[in-house]
Amino acid sequence: QVQLVESGGGLVQAGDSLRLSCAASGRFFSSYSMGWFRQAPGKERDFVAVISWSGDMTYYADSVKGRFFISRDNAKNTVSLQMNSLKPEDTAVYYCAADPSYRNFPRGGMDYWGKGTLVTVSS
């Protein structure tokens, strides 16, 4: 069992940076791939980024590539999402997710989800 709690959301202006964190509890954290999804108002939840259990592989949605960076600290059971050059279209609730399979992430349907943290980017 893995429990996930996101933090770090807020209201920022276009061009600003924000760092989201996800704290995980559970003995199997270090064996899970971790990732982030987001859901904008009125839209479906979309994949953002994933990092493998060891941290040696990452993959990003085209919409955030080069602006967002995912990292993890297995000693602290945390995964982070550094978001730079934010745009109004990045406004969404951001969800942390965990799953044993790295390759499953872009398709969604993860084993574990957090409750989300809201990011609002004003123009």
In this prediction, residue 2 carries a pLDDT of 82
**Residue-averaged pLDDT of the chain:** 95
Q: Residue 109's pLDDT band (boundaries 50, 70, 90)? A: confident
Q: Residue 108's pLDDT band (boundaries 50, 70, 90)? A: confident
Which residue(s) pair with 53 in the sheet? Answer: none
Q: Are 74 and 30 in contact (CB under 8 A)?
A: yes
Copy the structure tokens of residue 38: 């987001």
